[in-house]
Amino acid sequence: MKTGPWVLAGEAATVRLANVMARLPCMGMKFYFYGDLGSGKTTLVRALLRALGHSGVIRSPTYTLVEPYTLASGIAFHFDLYRMNDPEELELMGVRDYFSLDDLCLVEWAAKAETWLPQPDVRLALDLVHQGRRISIESGTGRGSSWLQSLESLYVP
Ligand SMILES: Nc1ncnc2c1ncn2[C@@H]1O[C@H](COP(=O)(O)OP(=O)(O)OP(=O)(O)O)[C@@H](O)[C@H]1O
Ligand SMILES: [Mg+2]
């Protein structure tokens, strides 16, 4: 299933979308984010982590590749694979365990490790339009598909 494109006219619109996403069951989901540099991936991930209750600092995992967050509902991992050279780095870091049933995985630049990573439940593709951003969302699993259907029924673009 595929939905959008939806225009996110400013950062506030991204936050509003994230707030709706957070009302759906997110734990255990694997969300992969696509889009060029500056297309708004981190902004959406940050807003989602905030909406899921994280109140502390949210660092961009550009050099560490991944940052963990302990949320009330479970553990979330935020990945940024832009600077990763070889998916073998993920293997060595023991990242395969992070993709367990319960963890929420939010992966920026997933295309860098597409062959290594498991199939995402949901793919979110961002691009620039005028002063804002545009997002298209696609499911990759049955679970992702029901999640996306719920999002479509709750979110008013
Ligand atoms: N919906 C939006 N409308 C307008 N500007 C936005 C929107 N979302 C994010 N931005 C702005 O775009 C810039 C880049 O955002 P962000 O860092 O989230 O992009 P990114 O896709 O994570 O980039 P990178 O690939 O470099 O990590 C920031 O200055 C942010 O404020
Ligand atoms: Mg980013």
Ligand nearest to the backbone CA of 127? 1
Ligand nearest to the backbone CA of 6? 1
For ligand 1, the distance from its centroid to the CA atom of residue 42, given in whole angstroms, is 7
CA of 98: how far to CAs of 17, 22, 37, 103, in Å? 25, 20, 25, 7
CA of 151: how far to CAs of 21, 25, 42, 117, in Å? 7, 10, 20, 24
Q: So what's the pLDDT on residue 88?
A: 93
Rounded mean pLDDT of 98-108?
94
Rounded mean pLDDT of 107-135?
95
CATH topology of domain 2-152: Rossmann fold (3.40.50)
pLDDT at 103 over 90: yes
Q: So what's the pLDDT on residue 63?
A: 87
Rounded mean pLDDT of 5-21?
98
109 CA: nearest ligand 1 atom? 25
Q: So what's the pLDDT on residue 136?
A: 98
Rounded mean pLDDT of 69-86?
96
- What residue type is 128 in one-letter code? L
Q: So what's the pLDDT on residue 101?
A: 87
pTM for the complete prediction? 0.97
pLDDT at 1 over 90: yes
In this structure, the residues whose C-beta lies within 6 A of any atom of ligand 1 are 8, 10-11, 13-14, 35, 37-43, 82, 108, 132-133
Ligand nearest to the backbone CA of 79? 2
Structure token digits, residue 42: 């981190």
Residue nearest to atom 29 of ligand 1 (CA): 38
Contact (CB, 8 A) for 43 and 63:
no
pLDDT at 33 over 90: yes
Nearest to 79 by CA among 92, 95, 94, 91: 95
Mean pLDDT of the residues in the chain? 96
Nearest to 69 by CA among 56, 88, 85: 56
Strands (E), the chain: 2-8, 30-34, 66-71, 74-80, 104-108, 122-129, 132-139
